[in-house]
Amino acid sequence: MHPMLNIAIRAARKAGNHIAKSLENADKIQSSQKGTNDFVTNVDQEAESMIIEVIKTSYPEHSIIAEESGLLEGKDAEVQWIIDPLDGTTNFVKGLPNFAVSIAVRIKGRTEVACVYDPMLNELFTAQRGSGAQLNNSRIRVNPSKELTGTVLATGFPFRQKQHSESYLKILTGLFSECADFRRTGSAALDLCYVAAGRVDGYFELGLKPWDIAAGELIAREAGAIVTDFSGGTDYMKSGNIVTSSARVVKSMLKHIRENGNEAIIK
């Protein structure tokens, strides 16, 4: 195992266990709004501090991009840890047990290792570039679906960018005319991992942040999925718009996105 993946797993488990334990004392969870329909809790912040501490103990010179702390520059700017301490905060606040810790390491702009940990199910999704993806150390693979018909797709509503809701709903309607059904779980990191594990056949969402995507997209790609932005390119870390599935299903999904999306989201 890559030594940085080992540290990422250690940090994710520590943070995840703290998050799960915090639900036992729900009255001590303090929630506040940091943006439009975007929440943060004291537990997010505590979990993030734990992750940073684990990373800095082993790699004090590495840079870190964290959802709550922002950019923490280190002497070694070529190595970046991208952290989402609690992906699915709204679920967590509501007591819905679908959230995860997401950690990725990018070296010279390329994601090398990733882990996503679901503490409620004790499921650890991991990947190393070029070495495949695993769920609790067992190899996972994307469903090799050849057509959109019969697929179950995951998505997330653009709650941060409601100006795109009309365009998004047109895309959703177009896809729904062909696919079997949709799932909307509330955690982008887990949606990407569920594509990797074959639990859903594809996933699309717009307006995401780098920490929502960084770990899950490597896990999906290493499981054999195609990952693109809405124009079919690979600029999803910058645009925040992502599509993933098997090659043929991605092609069909992109067709609906192009036909129904507006120019502002298809760049």
In order of 94, 108, 112, 248, the CA distances from 184 in angstroms are 15, 33, 28, 22
Q: Is the pLDDT of residue 37 over 60?
A: no
pLDDT tens-digit series, residues 213-233: 999 999 999 999 999 999 999
pLDDT of residue 38: 65
C-beta neighbour count of 1 within 10 angstroms: 11
Distance CA 168, CA 68 (A): 27
The mean per-residue pLDDT over the stretch 59-84 comes to 92
Residue 88 token pair: 């699915």
Look at residues 250, 230, 251, 231 and name the one whose alpha carbon lies nearest to residue 241: 230
Residue 215 token pair: 């770990």
Do the first three CATH levels of 3-139 and 152-260 match, i.e. the same topology?
no
Residue boundaries of the structural domains of the chain? 3-139, 152-260
pLDDT of residue 267: 65
Q: Which comes out higher in pLDDT, residue 141 or 163?
A: 141
CATH class entry, domain 152-260: alpha beta
Distance CA 242, CA 219 (A): 14
Tokens 């190899």 found at = 139
Q: Is the pLDDT of residue 140 over 70?
A: yes
pLDDT of residue 240: 93
Quick one: fold of 3-139? Fructose-1,6-Bisphosphatase; Chain A, domain 1 (3.30.540)
Model confidence, pTM: 0.95
Q: Is residue 15 within a helix (H) or strand (E), and if so which, with residue range?
A: helix 3-22
Q: Is the pLDDT of residue 148 over 90?
A: yes
Distance CA 225, CA 183 (A): 18
The mean per-residue pLDDT over the stretch 75-87 comes to 94
